[in-house]
Amino acid sequence: ALLYNSPRAATVVALQPCTLWRVDQLTFRRIIATYQLKEDDETKALLKKVDFLKQLDDSSLGKFAVLMGTRTYKAGEEIAHRGEPMSVFLVIQSGKLKATDIEIDGTKFDDREFGAGDNIGAMMIMKNVDTIATLRAVEETTVLYLEKDNFIRMCGDYDDLIAKMADTRALQMIDIDKRRVDASTAGHLASVMTTVTYKKGHVFYREGESVPPGLFLVRSGEVTLESSGEETRTVGRMGLFGEETVGGSLEESDFVTARHTVTVSEDVSVGYLGVRTLRHVLGPGDNEGQDIPMDALKRHRILGAGTFGQVWLVSHKNKKGKEDAYALKIQFKRQLIDSNQAAGVIREKNIMAKLHSDFIIQLVSTYQDKENVYMLMKLYQGGELWSVMHGGDGDALPELAAKFYMASVLEGLTYMHNRSVIYRDLKPENVLLDGDGYTVIVDLGFAKVVTDKTFTFCGTPLYLAPEIILQRGHDKGADHWSFGVLLYEMICGITPFYDKGIDQMTLFKRIVNQKYRFPRGDFITDDAKSLIGHILVADPVERLGSFARAEKDIQEHPWFQGVNFEKLRRRELTPPWKPDITDPLDVSNFDDWDHLKDKKREGKPLMPLEQKVFADF
C-alpha cells in the first residue's frame, strides 16, 4: 500500500500487546530514494575515474551505474583467458588483478597488475578483438562489471561517441543568434548535425554574396578563408566557419552578406547546421517574443476548468488590425499557496519559456496581479488527440495514421529530452492538434528538468512506468514507457494493462510485471508489436530509447519505416486529418464549457511573504 499508493490489501489485527515501529509513506519513499541515490553515486564516482567515461554527463553515467553488477573473485580465480572473446567490461572496486601471457600483434609484454579504480576490457569490446591476456585475481577482488552487449548499447560506436564529444566542445565556444551555446544545447546541435563532403576546389560561398545563415564544423581536411583587407587563414580539423552568418538573427527569411570567400583547399568532410535546424534547436531569440499587455486581451468564453483555475479563449488585435486568438490560463494564488502548488506552477512556466518547438505548447506571455497568475499561450484549435482516437467509428486508428501522430509526439518528447526535460504525463488528453492537424504536447504541470534521476510519484496511473510505481528513480525512460502505452492504445483502442473492474493496486502490479497481451486479429502488424514490445520493458535501462542513440533507435525501428522525420520537422507531411476551422476563434473541436461562469475565488488575501513566492513568475 505504501509503494503503490493504494488502499490496504489486508486487515491486520494484534493478537497480543505489541510495540511497533511506524514509518509513514513519505519517509518510506525517502528511505528508498536515499539508498538508491547513495548506491548510484558511489558507482558513478568510480566510473568518473575511467578516462573515456569522464566526458559523459550524469544521466549517461547513471545508466552505466544502474546496469553494472558487482562480483567478487577469489585469489587465483581466472576472469578471462587470452584468445577468447572479451565478454565483460570491468572496473576494480577493491583488490588486485594480474594480466599474464600478454601478446599484441605477435609482440609479447611483461605481466601487469591492476588495482582499485583501474578498468579492463573497454577497447577490446569496442574494437571487437579477442582478449590479449589471461586475467586472474591476485587476492580477493571485487569488481563492477558490465556485460558486452549492454556496454555496446550504452556506448554505441566508440568513434561516434568520441566525435560527438568533440563536436559538443567545439560548439560550446561560439555565440549563435547573440546567445552563448550551453553544454546541453551544444550536445543537441552535435546530434542533429548533417555530415557532407566536398572535393578540393569547391567554393562554399564568395565574399559579398547573399547567403542563408549556416554553421560548418570541419571534421577532416581544410578550407581557406579569404577576405579583402584581412589575412588569408586556414581552418582545419575541428575548426569552425560561418560563425559570422549566425551571430545575428536566425529569421528563416533572412540572408546575410558573406564576409569571406571559403574554398576547399584539401578534400573536406564538414558537419553542417542550417538555419532551419538552428531555429528548431535554439528557438526564437530574446527579441522575438510578443509584448501583449494583459488589458489588451478580450475574453470570449471558457475553454476548460480545473482544480486551480480556468482557461479562457481570448483575442488580441495585432498590428494589421486582425484578431489573433490565444488561450489564457488563470490560476488562483491563494489556492496554489494553500495546496503547496505554487512552486510547481512557477516551474511549469519556466520550462515552457525554454521550449520552442512546434510540437510543444508555446508560452506567449505571463502576467500576475494580487489574486491570480496568468499564462497566455498559443491556441490550438484541432481538439484533443483522444477525440481523434476514440471519437470516430471505432476506438483504434489505422497504423498509417498512428505512425504520423506517434512520430509527431516523439518529436516533441525528443525536443524536451535533449534539454534535460522529462514530461511525465503523456496521454491522449494531453496532446492537442493544431489547425493543420499536427500534434502539440500540452499541460507541462509534471514536467521537470532532470540531469540524472528524480523520485517524485506523479503521472496518470494507466500510463505510469514501473520505475515510478516502485520508487526506484526515473528519467526520460518513463516518457518512453508512456509513449509505448499510447502507441498500444492508438492501434488497439484500449490501454494494455487495464481491464474493467480492476482496482489500482492490481493495475500497478500488472504494469510492474509487464502483464499485457495483444487483442486477437490481424489488424496490428508484427512491426507494431515489436516496437511496443521493445518499449514496454520493465527495466528502464533495457527499454528502447535508453541506449546511446536515444530516440534515434525508436525513429529507426522498422515500424516507422517510410516516415521522414526531417520533413515532419519542416511540416511538409500531410496529416491524416485536418480540422475544419472556420475562423481564428473557432473552438468547435473542444467540449462546450459555456455552462461555467467566471467565478471569483474566495480566500484571505496573500501576506507579503506569500506574494514573494510569485516574484519570479
HSE, side-chain direction, 13 A CA sphere, residue 47: 27
**Closest residue by Cα to residue 324 from 371, 365, 283, 263:** 365
- 451 vs 60: CA distance, rounded Å: 9
- 393 vs 238: CA distance, rounded Å: 56
Grid coordinates in use for 449?
528538468
- 70 vs 141: CA distance, rounded Å: 11
- 360 vs 365: CA distance, rounded Å: 15
425 in catalytic set = yes
In contact, 271 and 194? CB cutoff 8 Å: yes
Question: Mind spelling out the 3-state secondary structure of 564-591?
Answer: CHHHHHCCCCCCCCCCCCCCCCCCCCCC
- 331 vs 349: CA distance, rounded Å: 12
HSE, side-chain direction, 13 A CA sphere, residue 403: 21
The single-letter code of the amino acid at 166 is: A
- 302 vs 394: CA distance, rounded Å: 29
**Closest residue by Cα to residue 103 from 83, 119, 124:** 83
The single-letter code of the amino acid at 385 is: L
Q: What are the distances in angstroms from CA 164 to CA 155, 337, 543?
A: 12, 44, 23
Coil vs helix vs strand at 488: helix
**Closest residue by Cα to residue 467 from 27, 139, 22, 33:** 33
Catalytic residue among 40, 425, 434, 475: 425
Strands 203-205 and 107-109: unpaired
604 marked among binding-site residues: no
Q: Where are the alpha helices (DSSP H) in 399-525?
A: 399-417, 466-469, 477-492, 504-512
Helix or strand holding residue 305 (H, E): strand 298-305
Question: Mind spelling out the 3-state secondary structure of 333-359?
Answer: HHHHHHCCCHHHHHHHHHHHHHCCCCC
Contacts of 266 (CB under 8 A, 6+ apart): 200, 221, 222
In contact, 519 and 551? CB cutoff 8 Å: no
Instruction: List, in sequence order, every beta strand (DSSP E) within 369-470.
Output: 372-378, 421-422, 431-433, 439-441, 448-449
Q: What are the distances in angstroms from CA 312 to CA 170, 202, 462?
A: 46, 56, 29
Q: Where are the alpha helices (DSSP H) in 247-364?
A: 275-282, 333-338, 342-354
- 496 vs 543: CA distance, rounded Å: 17
**183-192 vs 158-171: helix axis angle to the nearest 10?**
130
Binding-site residues from annotation for ATP: 329
Q: Which residues are catalytic?
A: 425
Binding-site residues from annotation: 329
